Amino acid sequence: MLDKIRRHADGMLSTDYLEHLGRGSDGRCCRFLQVTYAALVERVLAGGTDEQVLEWCFEQGRRPNDEEINIFSSFARKRGWRDDRDGGTRALEAHKEANGLGNRPDIVTFFDFYEVDESRQP
């Protein structure tokens, strides 16, 4: 998310990502840390390392404990894999189709999708 913020500010972010900035995974992460996306963008553009920005999030929002981080990370890594209850799998399949990756059975999570999709970006 921080790289997307930086790339967007530099005019280097693919237009495919623009409508989702601050939503989806970005929004979930911001809600988890209890910071607004707008405030996070401002902080990222002020400069600093990813670690410094994360520390700022902890100071401005909340500092989750190790168990909360583990649960959130496990959820995020598996998002899209068998998520029929909230439509996650359908959304992932739609993203794959829209991006010419519908024939890729190896892409089973959103993280898989992001990795493949970002590898195609200049």
> How does pLDDT run across 67-115, given as a tens digit for each residue?
999 999 988 888 878 777 667 788 888 889 988 899 999 998 888 988 8
Task: Output the pTM of the full model.
Answer: 0.77
**CA distances from residue 19 to 8, 14, 16, 24 in whole angstroms, order as listed:** 12, 11, 7, 10
Task: Say how many C-beta atoms besides its own lie within 10 A of residue 48's C-beta.
Answer: 14
How sure is the predictor about 121, in pLDDT bands with cuts at 50, 70 and 90? low
Average pLDDT value for residue range 54-64? 97
Q: Which two tokens stand for residue 39?
A: 């405030």
Asked whether the beta carbons of 25 and 110 are under 8 A apart, the reply is yes
Query: Which pLDDT value is given to residue 98?
Result: 87
Asked whether the beta carbons of 59 and 8 are under 8 A apart, the reply is no
